[in-house]
Amino acid sequence: MQFDGLTLEIRRMMARGFAVMLGLCLMLGAWPSLPAWADPALVAAPVPAVAPAAVQGGSFVATAVTQVGPAVVRIDTERTVTRNPDPMFNDPGFRRFFGEGSQQAPYEERMRGQGSGFIFNADGTILTNAHVVDHADRVTVTLKDGRRFEGEVRGVDEVTDLAVVKISSSDRFPIAPLGNSDQIQVGDWAIAVGNPLGLDNTVTLGIISTLNRSSAAVGIPDKRVDFIQTDAAINPGNSGGPLLNGMGEVIGINTAIRANAMGIGFAIPINKAKEISAQLVRGERVTHPFIGVQVATLTPEVARQNNEDPNSTAILPEVNGALVMGVVPNSPAASGGLRRGDVITQIDRQAVTAADQLQSLMERSQVGQSLQVTIRRGDRTQQLSVQAAEMQGNS
């Protein structure tokens, strides 16, 4: 009996030992092999992670800004403005009550402004907006690297809102490459660079949303520019800075002109600047012919709607043309016999079907040129001769 009990106990111990050995074998089989002691031929090489394109390299925007950024400048201006006192202080009744010492004389005030620009010639020649530097007594130009220079305004053209400023140094300056604004299309990328609201070196991205937006349609009839319209943010302080394409070329000069615009910005095509920049560098006056009419586009549909309105004050001819909304007093148009309500249909036998087309035809004419203007007045067609004069900034 003792032997049988001993044998039973030995069997139990052997079973427990076998179970322990089996567990160890299973555990070792499942344990991960480490390269330090595993067979190198049995260790799989790790699969490298694929980085996103944005991590592997910079975007086209970063490339464009890196190329052009050093040539973009901040322009600070100062000018003295003479202010007249409130007329109340010079009123005799006011002086009798408060004494003769209360009368005030005109006083001077220093006005400061800020805008942007870009260097387009290595000698330090800068393009910007006319309204940024016009009438400035002092112009200070600050480069991206922190260098500051006194700027000289070489030329200003209020009609196109373009100006040239020159800075001088023995060093050669970085330049912004100029593109071709005639080759851009709606939907192309647009990158605005400048110093909006005093925030230096700011970049915004959008697309070209419209081409050839006339200055009259934008609400500034005293200018003569067909703007590039973009949804890239352009704010005060951006004025004069470059609008770039996706390759980092300047295709326009940013202009902040509509305070109520939401998500809409405008830029002067760089090809317009190319046309007159040499004259501005030389300090020459840029002439723009005009005849002195305010016009709106007329179509047969618009005329028909007007004529069917019982409250309409005039019957319009149902044709395509430029409807004369007003005639500037003492202008060539007034001297030539144009009247409000006339419809201009041709200039020198070239058809006029829209207001902006008339503006383009005028820009291609010459100061002093005699223009043959075909109009519809009521139900009659007439020919008038109008001599183009030089357009001033506020004509």
Upper half-sphere CA count for residue 239 (Cβ side, 13 Å) = 22
Residues paired with residue 324 on neighbouring β-strands, in sequence order: 295
Residue of 131, 157, 215, 356 marked active site: 131
Tokens standing for residue 219: 């609400």
| 161 is an active site residue | yes
135 contacts 81 by C-beta, under 8 angstroms: no
288 counts as catalytic: no
Residues 140, 141, 142, 148, CA torsion sign: negative
336: helix, strand or coil = helix
- What single DSSP character describes residue 365? S
The two three-digit tokens of residue 4, written as one number: 């049988």
Other CB atoms within a 10 A radius of the CB of residue 247 amount to 13
Q: Is 40 helix (H, G, I), strand (E, B) or coil?
A: helix
**Which residues fall within 8 angstroms of residue 306, CB to CB, at 6 or more apart?**
312, 314, 315, 316
Write down the catalytic residue from 161, 226, 342, 356. 161
239 is catalytic: yes
> HSE on the CB side for 148, CA within 13 Å?
5
Give the HSE-up count for residue 115: Cα atoms under 13 Å, Cβ half-sphere. Answer: 28
Distance, in Å, from the CA atom of 181 to the CA atom of 163, rounded to the nearest integer, reads 18
Question: Tokens at residue 150, please?
Answer: 């006194």
- Considering the candidates 116, 181, 215, 239, report the single residue annotated as catalytic: 239
In SS3 terms, 264-293 reads as CEEEEEHHHHHHHHHHHHCCCCCCCEECCE
What is d(CA 246, CA 121) in angstroms, rounded to the nearest whole number? 21
Q: What tokens were used for 379?
A: 């139900």
Torsion (CA) 68, 70, 72, 76 in degrees, nearest 10: 180
DSSP 124: T
Catalytic residues: 131, 161, 239
